[in-house]
């Protein structure tokens, strides 16, 4: 039987950076994210009786060796749980650039968890799908749910506010078209091992999470934007202080950050966040999203902007890819 699933990327407003248990892929800090409409991954999985290496097709082409190995390890867990032994055929398509800091691993492993569980005949509740997705990529657990989502230290994930309940937007400003050089897993392991700021990062994260949760529940955009920018800058400061330092930004990233701040000073309510890559995501009210997209599009070096509204969680089944 084939399994089909679609999941959306999510962008953390309070970041997870560091693992407290690498084998179980448990985060060292809680996190809070917004699932985005439109930035989606669609995945089809089919298990065959014959043994052999899994076939993994990403946007129609065979995946590179590290991705293939990561997917295969993930599917081994699904096979073990379902008592299957044959190889799998995985076809997956993204509607946005892969591995450039646009959270493709989050939507990717959420969709893979859904499609693989379905193909293996496992009937899993959302919490179980989130726990499975987390084994592929911790942030993927958050993409099982739509809207604003929190993940705690035990990997438990829950929706705080559904997508239709708050009219906010994320404007994505694309600042590069090449894949990122340091994966988030390598970046966070190196940060934890070598950054003198890592203990301070861990110690200050719970207060950021509590402030962001309260802001989301109160629909207080200014309070959420303030803590989101602080969490992002702290994560990157911590990574920059590793040896060697990890720098995910390019020059355009910095210019977009400056533009967000200068437009905010001039009265446009907008705040930035940046993941393990060079792109900038700007949080604003839905009513301001066209204006935010327009001002970020003219920052020299930005080659595209995309407005995303809050999106839904994992959906299973549907039309074949």
Sign of CA dihedral 116, 127, 100, 153: negative
Residue number with CB closer to ligand PMV (191 or 305): 191
Q: How far is the CB of 175 from ligand PMV (least distance, A)?
A: 16
Q: How far is the CB of 17 from ligand PMV (least distance, A)?
A: 6
Phi, psi (rounded to 5 degrees) for 45: -125, 135
Sign of CA dihedral 71, 240, 215, 16: positive
CB 133 within 8 A of CB 109: yes
Q: How far is the CB of 316 from ligand PMV (least distance, A)?
A: 22
Helices 65-82 and 126-136 cross at an angle (nearest 10°) of: 140
Q: How far is the CB of 261 from ligand PMV (least distance, A)?
A: 21
Q: How far is the CB of 83 from ligand PMV (least distance, A)?
A: 28
Residue number with CB closer to ligand PMV (14 or 302): 14
Residue number with CB closer to ligand PMV (46 or 150): 150
- Residues 125 and 142: their CA atoms lie apart, in Å, by 14
Residue number with CB closer to ligand PMV (270 or 276): 276
Q: Which residues bind ligand PMV (CB under 6 A)?
A: 12, 15-17, 31, 105-106, 137-139, 184-185, 275-276
Residue number with CB closer to ligand PMV (3 or 101): 101
Residue number with CB closer to ligand PMV (119 or 209): 209
Phi, psi (rounded to 5 degrees) for 211: -65, -40
Spell out a b/e string for 276-295, using b for 16 or more CB atoms within 10 Å of the CB, else e.
bbbbbbbbbbeebbeebbeb
Q: How far is the CB of 48 from ligand PMV (least distance, A)?
A: 29
Reduce the DSSP state of residue 38 to 3 states and report it. Answer: strand
């Amino acid at each position: 039987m084939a399994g089909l699933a679609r999941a959306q990327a999510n962008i953390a407003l309070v970041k997870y950076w560091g693992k407290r248990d690498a084998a179980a892929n448990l985060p060292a800090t809680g996190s809070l994210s917004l699932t985005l409409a439109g930035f989606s991954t669609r995945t089809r999985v089919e298990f065959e009786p014959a043994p052999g290496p899994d076939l993994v097709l990403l946007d129609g082409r065979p995946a590179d060796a590290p991705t293939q190995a990561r997917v295969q390890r993930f599917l081994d867990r699904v096979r073990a749980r379902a008592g299957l032994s044959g190889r799998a055929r995985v076809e997956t398509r993204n509607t946005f650039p892969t591995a450039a800091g646009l959270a493709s691993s989050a939507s990717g492993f959420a969709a893979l968890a859904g499609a693989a569980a379905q193909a293996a005949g496992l009937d899993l509740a959302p919490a179980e799908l989130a726990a499975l997705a987390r084994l592929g990529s911790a942030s993927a657990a958050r993409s099982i749910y739509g809207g604003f989502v929190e993940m705690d230290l035990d990997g438990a994930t829950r929706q705080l506010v559904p997508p239709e309940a708050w009219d906010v937007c994320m404007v994505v400003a694309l600042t590069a078209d090449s894949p990122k050089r340091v994966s988030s897993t390598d970046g966070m392991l190196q940060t934890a091992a070598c950054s003198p700021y890592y203990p301070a990062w861990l110690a200050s994260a719970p207060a950021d999470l509590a402030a962001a949760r309260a802001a989301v529940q109160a629909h207080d955009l200014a309070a959420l934007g303030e803590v989101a920018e602080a969490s992002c800058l702290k994560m990157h400061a911590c990574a920059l202080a590793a040896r060697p330092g990890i720098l995910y930004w390019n020059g355009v990233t910095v210019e977009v950050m400056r533009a967000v701040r200068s437009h905010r000073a001039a009265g446009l309510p907008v705040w930035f966040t940046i993941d393990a890559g060079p792109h900038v995501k700007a949080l604003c009210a839905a009513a301001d999203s066209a204006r935010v997209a327009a001002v970020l599009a003219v920052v020299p070096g930005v080659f595209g902007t995309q407005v995303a509204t809050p999106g839904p969680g994992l959906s299973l089944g549907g039309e074949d890819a």
